[in-house]
Amino acid sequence: MTIPQPSPLELRLSAFADVQTSDEERHDIEELLVNDPQARSLHDALKRGADLGRRAFDDMLKEPVPLDLVRTIKNAPLPRRAIRLPQAPRPTLSFKPSGLQAIAACALVFVLGGGIGYMIGGNGAAAQFSAFSMPGVSSRDWLDDIIAHYRLYARQTNHLAEIPAERPADILEWLTTNTGVGFRIPDLSDSGLTFEGARLFAAGGTPVGQLLYRRTDGDGDGDVIAISFTKIRPEGNRSIEEIRNDTSLVSWATPLATYMVVGPSSAADLDDIAAKAAGLI
């Protein structure tokens, strides 16, 4: 059965019946219904048809509903819903590694430790640190300490020496005991030097004995000359002569000890003093 195609007027009247028209269109149709008997007749026919259809559909509601259909719907299972059941409290984390895990962890720690150790060993700064902390590794640090102490005390007038020259026995005992180096107090009066006393300090991590002299005549009147000695150092078996800023330094070594004469860089006879001291000390 084919669907009949309504005319434009029929479509307008049908929409008019359902209030599906604009106000202007509605006004036009109302005028048309007043003036056009054919349109009015068509409109009445549409209403009669609608009434017939409504009655027919209303009658359908009076028909009994099959009981099996009602029963099917009533007994239909509802969809399952996601249900969150009350859960037991979450167990606390327990650390129970298996044997394989323990071995793997040990291997990991070993590799990490080895790697860190390798990196530290290959680090220049660390090497410098170890040399600084271990005596005899770097003569440069040792020399720096010697010179630093000289500069510190050479300017002292009242506290130049720890033990004054008047107590030579104390000086010998104190410095020999602590440095492990046997020595004598050289008499350098020929070089215009007067013995002022002695000190004990640490340089490069080892104790150093220091004999202090003051020049009493000549050009550098009042200059302090220091003779330092310590136990033999691995790098200390060679003679050093050098000038650091205002300080001059001459060192020599014997099989048992390393010696050093420190004075102002203006002292031209420092090597002569060193030669004399080496024979007398």
Partner 1 sequence: MTQPSPLTDIRRDLVALLPRLRRFALTLTGSAAEADDLVREAAGRAIQKSHHWKGEGRLESWLFSMIRSTFTDEAKKRRRAEGNAADDASSAENARQSNALACLPDGLASVFLLADVEGFAYAEAAAILGIQPDLFATRLCAARLSLAAIAAETNERRA
Interface residues with partner 1 (CB under 8 A) are: 1-6, 10-11, 13-15, 17-18, 20, 45-46, 48-54, 56-61, 63, 65-66, 69-70, 72-74, 76-79, 81, 83, 85
Candidates 5, 4, 9, 6; CA nearest to 38 is 9
Rg of the Cα atoms in the chain? 58
Smaller CB distance to partner 1: residue 78 or 169?
A: 78
Smaller CB distance to partner 1: residue 15 or 281?
A: 15
Smaller CB distance to partner 1: residue 61 or 125?
A: 61
Min separation Cβ 11 and partner 1, Å:
5
Min separation Cβ 97 and partner 1, Å:
40
Smaller CB distance to partner 1: residue 10 or 28?
A: 10
CA distances from residue 22 to 7, 42, 93 in whole angstroms, order as listed: 19, 20, 73
Min separation Cβ 99 and partner 1, Å:
44
Smaller CB distance to partner 1: residue 14 or 194?
A: 14
Min separation Cβ 53 and partner 1, Å:
5
Burial class (CB within 10 angstroms; exposed 0-12, middle 13-18, buried 19+) of 272: middle
| Residue in the block written with tokens 């028209």 | 21
How many CA atoms are closer than 13 Å to the CA of 35, on its beta-carbon side? 6
CA distances from residue 273 to 112, 132, 198, 216 in whole angstroms, order as listed: 56, 30, 17, 14
Q: How far apart are CA 96 and CA 81, in angstroms?
A: 38
Residue 33 CB contacts under 8 Å (≥ 6 apart), including other chains: 39, 40, 43
Region label for 195, one of left (φ > 0), alpha (ψ between -120 and 50) or beta (otherwise): beta
Candidates 190, 211, 219, 197; CA nearest to 262 is 211
Smaller CB distance to partner 1: residue 86 or 91?
A: 86
Q: How far apart are CA 208 and CA 219, in angstroms?
A: 29
Smaller CB distance to partner 1: residue 18 or 190?
A: 18
